[in-house]
Amino acid sequence: MQKTRNLILILGDQLDPQGPSLEGADPTQDVVVMAEVASEIERYPNHKQRVVLFLAAMRHFKEDLIARGFRVIYQHLDANAPAPDLPAFLGAQIVRWQPEGVVLTTPGRHDLTVALTNEAEQAGIPLDMRPDTHFFCSKESFSVWAQGRKSLVMEYFYRDMRKQYGYLMQGSKPVGGTWNYDKENRGTFSKNGPQNLPPSTVYSPDAITQAVCQSVEQHFPNLYGSTEAFGWPVTPTDAHAALDDFIENRLPHFGTYQDAMWTDEPFLYHARLAAALNLKLINPRTVCDRAVAAYAAGAAPLNAVEGFIRQVLGWREFIRGVYWHHMPAYINHNALQANNPLPDLFWTGNTRMRCMQQVVQQLLQYGYAHHIQRLMVSGLFALLYRAEPAAVQTWFMAMYVDAVEWVTLPNTIGMSQYADGGVVGTKPYIATGKYIKRMSNYCKGCAYNPDLATGPEACPFTTLYWDFLMEHEATLGSNRRMGFQLKNLQRKSHAQREAIAERATVVHELAQTGAL
């Protein structure tokens, strides 16, 4: 057997043709190994489209490597005697190929990083674990930035990243004189709803992706959702086409309407590039460069481009830094001691709350909901309901095609559920049903009234909002950003508080029995 120099392990979210693991790779001396393992799929009660996305992208990547002349060992789901997990797969390949060393890009998950490192050490094989250069900010650079700070505020990090990389900068000042145009990015649609929306771009499954769909349906028939509507980018070519569509057709209106929601309109002006970015099918530098070029050419307004850059260069990089800075302890945070089981309506969409019905049914069909639907509908209800943060994290990982742990965990535990006590968000993001009424048409025709906190027609969001404030009044009293909301609570009489608490108990009972 030909001598093997390096065994190159490539994971399902490391599908960059120019990724770190392939730098200096020699097809005549190195062997690339990849694996589909059931344990990764069964780690969460996954959405079928999330599984299809990963496996289809992996299989396309394998074919690209073969076309480039690499020897690729690829374990399929239906392989005979498959390795049960990724460390076992790596160990088996080390035994088979007896390489001089193992090359691996740092995984996006803390536990997997530890497990693969241990596997190589136990085999006595040198491990070259390379930094993931996909990101603007390295883990080490973030730790330096975070050192000595009492709180990690994304806005400050974002400004430093703008200065460092020069996006939307004039010297040391931001283009337009303002760092953040968030106040101009909260537009809502008129009563007629969004007009002249660009058609949804769908990437029709080719033979490889169709085979994956069949395999997932065969091996995992009880997963959530369906493969029928699958149309996500699974190759770099598809990902760049999705970027083209966003820049040309959606970015001009993205800023104004990025927080808006509308019945039966799941995509609106959103880019839907997160899945492709997280699998490394496209580079964030390319994405940011194209957005800034659109502004420079007069093809997109500043509020839209700044808002998009803030998501990619700011929030995405910030949230990854938080993950690595605080793991492994971060996953167990539960600062508000929320311990209620997540209601079944999160998995079925069977509820009279029209907003939750819209979001969950949309998720079941597409595996997608945009950031406000995540934070201020599904995430908000889970927070107000006092659902256990770990259960909410499981749900977000399972139901969203773009979910990977480094981004989903701090977004859920920190931003959405405030379970980290203020590491990510400086306050709990809570609101009554009136917020949803203002930002959408979901409340039209709903069984519940967002203006009411008590009685059978009271909106569960509004009821639970006040009940949440009552429960955590003492804890949140020292948070200056909660002052306005707590002052409004203090205006409630004893009788009003009792009525809210009684209705909150009913809401919980209805949710638990599937009658909410």
Write down the pLDDT at residue 185: 86
Distance CA 47, CA 217 (A): 11
Three-class SS state of 467 = helix
Q: What is the pLDDT of residue 266?
A: 94
Handedness of CA 76, 77, 83, 87 (dihedral sign): positive
Please state whether 298 falls in left (phi above 0), alpha (psi between -120 and 50) or beta.
left
Residues 290-343: tens digit of each pLDDT: 999 999 999 999 999 999 999 999 999 999 999 999 999 999 999 999 999 999
State how far the Cα of 81 lies from the Cα of 375, in Å rounded to an integer: 42
Which stretches of 222-283 are DSSP H helices? 236-245, 251-257, 274-278
The C-alpha atoms of residue 444 and residue 449 are separated, in whole angstroms, by 9
DSSP secondary structure letters along 103-163: EEEPPSSHHHHHHHHHHHHHHT--EEEE--TTSSS-HHHHHHHHTT-SS--HHHHHHHHHH
pTM for the model stands at 0.95
pLDDT digits (tens, 9 = 90+) for 182-226: 888 889 999 999 988 998 888 989 999 999 999 999 999 999 999
pLDDT at 143 over 90: yes
Q: Strand pairing partners for 34?
A: 74
For the four alpha carbons of 77, 78, 79 and 82, in that order, the dihedral sign comes to: positive
Residues 407-464: tens digit of each pLDDT:
999 999 999 999 999 898 889 999 999 999 999 999 998 999 999 999 999 999 999 9
40: left (phi over 0), alpha (psi -120 to 50) or beta: alpha
Q: Which residues contact 37 (CB under 8 A, 6 or more apart)?
A: 75, 82, 83, 84, 85, 86, 89
When pLDDT is cut at 50, 70 and 90, the band that residue 1 belongs to is low
Q: What percent of the chain has pLDDT over 90?
A: 91
Mean pLDDT, rounded, for 52-65: 98
**3-state DSSP assignment of residue 449:** strand
